[in-house]
Chains A and B, each alone.
Chain A
């Protein structure tokens, strides 16, 4: 059974640009969550999608957005990038909503210059 796939794995952007990250969940999983991981803040919850609807959102500015498609694949977008957005962005899937057992991808490492 294939795991959670995130693309791209690495990317470099400059301040002011925008970025879109993609996540393909485990087959049959309908919930996708996104987390930002930095050395200083650890894992911070961004949002959770279930059945194409955002169900929960963390304390991030509106520059961070996401969506989920009918096949459960998800994308997140960060607009007007800032240096502080440099981080590992992790996607996790689970069969249902608000689960504790999450299956994580390997992440997309974003560097903002």
Chain B
């Protein structure tokens, strides 16, 4: 069965303090790795798609990278509005499997 493990569970950052979130996975036949952001009381919002090892995607202060066994979401100089739960998901043969998420809190 496909498995996605995210760490840490929670991350508290000072504004401007860069950090990284980890997503490790096991999947038969990876058909893409996806990052989502979820705000309290909202549905997840799509951020990035990564398909192959070595691939990188950037959006504002976020950068996602992919290796054969894990992905990282780097947050550079975060702002309070970056506070959210970040979810990683992998597409296997028939479904999208999500990790439990990393809840990021950025203090001003």
Contact = CB atoms under 8 A, between A and B. Distances in A.
Contact of B49 (A56, A101, A104, A105): A101
Nearest to B97: A45
Interface in A71-105: 90, 92, 98, 100-105
B28 to A, nearest CB: 14
Could you say which interface size class chain B belongs to? Answer: 20 to 34
Contacts of A43: 44, 87, 89, 98
B95 interface: yes
Interface string B93-108: 0111111110000000
Interface in B20-75: 31-34, 41-46, 49
A61 B41 CA distance: 26
Name the prevailing secondary structure of the A interface residues: strand
Interface residues of A, number: 20
B34 A104 contact: no
B91 interface: yes
Interface string A24-60: 0000000001010000001101001000000010100
Given A42-B98, A98-B94, A106 B42 contact: yes
Contacts of B100: 42
Interface of A: 4, 33, 35, 42-43, 45, 48, 56, 58, 90, 92, 98, 100-107
Across the A-B interface, give the 5 residue pairs with the lowest CB-CB distance, nearest first: A104-B43, A43-B98, A100-B32, A42-B100, A100-B91
